[in-house]
């Protein structure tokens, strides 16, 4: 994702943008077998693997929001209670 996002910056030459997008595509393709292995171990990662697989047919720029959201979900500790808003009844 980083290389793709760098390729969209205004100060990046066309040749450098093409190189960065090629690199981003290669990294996304390399992630697919890793995501498949992870999904085998933990089925909750299926959405991430499916989104990575879409890189073969969908421009990475369209996948980035979904990938970021799915990665955030994976790295969030679901066993931690969220902080209260501070406006709870009885406060």
pLDDT at 78: 61
Q: What is the pLDDT of residue 34?
A: 93
Question: How many domains, the chain?
Answer: 1
pLDDT tens-place string over residues 8-36: 999 999 999 999 999 999 999 999 999 99
Instruction: Confirm whether 87 is domain-assigned.
Output: no
Residue 6 three-state SS? helix
This prediction has a pTM of 0.71
Q: Is residue 86 part of a domain?
A: no
Question: Range of 51's domain?
Answer: 2-71
Its sign, for the CA torsion 36, 39, 45, 47, is positive
Q: What is the pLDDT of residue 24?
A: 93
Better-predicted residue by pLDDT, 74 or 8: 8
Whether 81 has a pLDDT exceeding 70, the answer reads no
Buried b or exposed e, range 41-72, using 16+ CB within 10 angstroms: eeeebeebbebbbbbeeeebeebbebbeebee
Residue 30 maps to a domain: yes
Q: Examine residue 28 and state whether it is found in any structural domain, yes or no.
A: yes
């Amino acid at each position: 994702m980083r290389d793709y996002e760098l390729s969209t910056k205004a100060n990046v030459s066309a040749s450098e943008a093409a190189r960065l997008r090629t690199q981003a595509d290669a990294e996304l393709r390399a992630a697919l077998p890793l995501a498949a292995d992870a999904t085998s171990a933990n089925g909750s990662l299926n959405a991430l693997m499916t989104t990575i697989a879409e890189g073969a047919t969908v421009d990475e720029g369209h996948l980035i929001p979904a990938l970021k959201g799915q990665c955030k979900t994976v790295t969030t500790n679901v066993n931690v209670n969220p902080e209260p808003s501070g406006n709870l009844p009885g406060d």
